Structure 1
């Protein structure tokens, strides 16, 4: 009798929907942390010309194409269906190569280095809507 698993009769990958072809650790070269701290709300915009994208990893190309309109690191992660940590590492790599510009959120200088409460409330509200 043919074995049926929890995925249905065929049990093939097509039944599970889209899944990444490359494991996250392969996308990042085994790194688990970005080269520098990158906030999830940091905004990213592409500075690369199409000719500069030749020879880049497919993930880097996807991020650059996506960021032709400014996106946050969290949006990049969600829209490309990659873990947030992987998105941070890939964006940091692109910034180091000069292919994207990162606009880190600025804190109020009077706040003593603390994050803006209004921004945190907006992020929390957005997360609750998900």
Structure 2
């Protein structure tokens, strides 16, 4: 009988089918490089009510992690990690860096740009 969960190899940890984590989406709203660095900007109160996968990413990214590391450490496909991180960035709960930037530090998302993108998405 299908339960929506499948067992991972030798462990006892149930795994949710990837499309269930992303609501059926197969692509993030915007592209993220696998080397993009992610750090949580949300406080614990902001994480209440998030999906468990989003909460796990926020907890993991209290220290800077790349999208690839998130995928590996949480044992989720890279495409799913990209979608979930993009969701969190769009909600303002994580900050991303510019992987090709000269600074090397974490850059906060450009709020003006994000507002324009959100406005255009709403028009669709």
- TM-score normalised to structure 2 length: 0.72
1:46 corresponds to which residue?
40
CA apart distance, 1:69 = 0.2
> Where does the alignment leave 5 or more consecutive residues of structure 2 unmatched?
1-6, 103-124
Q: Identify the match of residue 65 of structure 2 among 68, 71, 75.
A: 71
What is the SS of the residue equivalent to 1:16? coil
- Superposition pairs of residues 78-117 of structure 1, within 5 angstroms: 78-106=72-100
The alignment status of 1:31 with 2:25, answered yes or no, reads yes
Distance 1:24 1:37 in 2: 18
CA apart distance, 1:82 = 0.2
Please tell me the root mean square deviation across aligned C-alpha atoms, in Å. 1.8
Rg larger in 1 or in 2?
Answer: 1
Larger helix share, 1 or 2: 1
What is the SS of the residue equivalent to 2:16? coil
Poorly superposed stretches of 4+, deviation over 6 Å: none
- TM-score normalised to structure 1 length: 0.69
Larger strand share, 1 or 2: 2
